[in-house]
Amino acid sequence: MVPSLYVHVPFCMSRCAYCDFHSSAPDRASLSAIAPRWLDAIERHLAELSRRFDFPAFSTIYIGGGTPSFLPPAIMAAALSAIARSCRAGLAGATEWSVEANPEDIGPDFLSLLAAHGVNRLSVGVQSLEDKARVVAGRRGSARSTMQVLDLLAARWPGRRSADLMYGLASQTAAGLADDVRALVDRGFGHISLYELTLEEGTPLERNARAGLVVLPDDDERADQYDAACEALLAAGYRHYEVSNWAVPGQECLHNMRYWNMDDWLALGPSGVGNVAAGRGRFLRLENTADDMCYYDDPSGSMREVVISGIDAMFESLMMALRTACGLDIAGFRERFGHDAIEAFGPLHELFPESIGLEAGSWRATPRGMDTLNRVLVQAMSNIERLRNRYTTSDEETR
Ligand code: SF4
């Protein structure tokens, strides 16, 4: 087993108005007190997972959050060293090692620290280069200061670069978003994730929008923004390889590809979720508690384990694969689950010809299908209760 590794850092310098990710915003003094506990817990958890799963190395590593770049440098260095030490076959097999960072934390020392430990990909939370949009979204830093960091990265960072952009933010414009894309393209960001703003219940932005204090772009404006960004990305030679992700060919995120293929990965840190194959088309889901203190006290003991099997495992696999341009390999599905995908879910390419094509033995979302995937999945899911009995595994039958 050569799994991937995800590490969740549950700290941010401040909370963005739209975000419901698992993180808190301690001040520097509190962070100095709590970050060593986080480090100690992930080291213990890593050792326990290593004993249990006996992996020689990681194929990809991704440190996300939260804001990993907010960690004190000594804690970041110790976490990177601990991960490297856990790979008895060395780090050479880790084809991709990514760290997420916010522009405000990025400076020459931070970049040197990452490069010295073998990190070869940086994922930067840009979101928008329009000041008004940044303010309403609660992002720290101005468009100008963010741009300066992008210039620094273009000059000083030797590895690959990815950036997150959002659309649908208040005050954002289609022309402004296309300019943001071009600014990243010009600075060598070979990978761009483009996310639509979703109003998560209970976030400050959702409350403000509900109270009429913030006016968000309507459907037409959001569609114009999305189209303008896609046009700029296509013109620059980027490939739309997953619903929310674009890359210059060869710069796709290998770590996320493992999620979409439902390959094995382990997870450290509060709220992290791992997934490993459990035989006969079943997955073992390893869910770390989202209670930080419980995790720090006993990372493995507070982890919940769930077996995903039968039609649930098959549907998850379908859902993840259809997000990607590679789509769902029908023969591979049969090999993994012992069942035929067309028989299980119906001929999706005939039921939704505008959204799903059957090409070279794979179901693939068409360009339009990438935008309308939910409708297809809802239809495929409508059969799930009927299919649940039919595809129950023999294990479950005897439970
Ligand atoms: S920095 Fe990222 S994780 Fe932290 S609050 Fe903002 S969007 Fe959420």
User: What is the full per-residue pLDDT of the chain (399 aa) written as tens digits?
Assistant: 799 999 999 999 999 999 999 999 999 999 999 999 999 999 999 999 999 999 889 999 999 999 999 999 999 999 999 999 988 767 766 689 999 999 999 999 999 999 999 999 999 999 999 999 999 999 999 999 999 999 999 999 999 999 999 999 999 999 999 999 999 999 999 999 999 999 999 999 999 999 999 999 999 999 999 999 999 999 999 999 999 999 999 999 999 999 999 999 999 999 999 999 999 999 999 999 999 999 999 999 999 999 999 999 999 999 999 999 999 999 999 999 999 999 888 888 998 899 999 999 999 999 888 877 877 777 777 766 677 767 765 444 333
Q: What is the pLDDT of residue 383?
A: 67
- CA–centroid distance, 139 to ligand 1, in Å, is 8
One of 3.30.750, 1.10.10, 3.30.70, 2.40.128 is the CATH number of 310-399, namely: 1.10.10
Q: Is the CB of 128 under 6 A from ligand 1?
A: no
Smallest Cα–Cα separation from 10: which of 59, 109, 79? 79
Cα angle value 186/251/357 (rounded, 5°): 110
Nearest CA to ligand 1 atom 3: 66
Q: Which run of H or E residues covers position 206?
A: helix 204-210
Residue nearest atom 6 in ligand 1 by C-alpha distance: 16
Looking at residue 391, its pLDDT comes to 74
Q: What is the structure's pLDDT at 399?
A: 33
CATH superfamily of 4-258: tm_1862 like domain (3.80.30.20)
In ligand 1, the atom with minimum distance to the C-alpha of 138 is 6
Q: Ligand 1 in contact with 67 (CB < 6 A)?
A: yes
Task: Report the nearest atom of ligand 1 relative to the CA of 139.
Answer: 6
d(C-alpha 117, C-alpha 104), whole Å? 21
> Which one of 9, 19, 136 would you pick to mutate in the ligand 1 pocket, going by the greatest count of ligand atoms within 8 A of its CB?
19
Indicate whether residue 68 lines ligand 1 (CB < 6 A): no
Amino acid at 99: V
What are the backbone dihedrals phi and psi of residue 78, each rounded to the nearest 5 degrees, phi first? Answer: -65, -40
Q: State residue 398's pLDDT score.
A: 33
Per the structure block, which two tokens stand in for 383?
A: 């059969």
pTM of the prediction? 0.94
Nearest atom in ligand 1 to the alpha carbon of residue 15 is 5
What ligand 1 atom has the least distance to the C-alpha of 19?
A: 8
**CA of residue 20 to ligand 1 center, whole Å:** 8
Asked if 354 contacts 343 with a C-beta cutoff of 8 angstroms, the reply is no
**Spacing, Cα 29 to ligand 1 middle (Å):** 20
Residue 12, ligand 1, Cβ within 6 A: yes
Domain extent listing, the chain: 4-258, 310-399
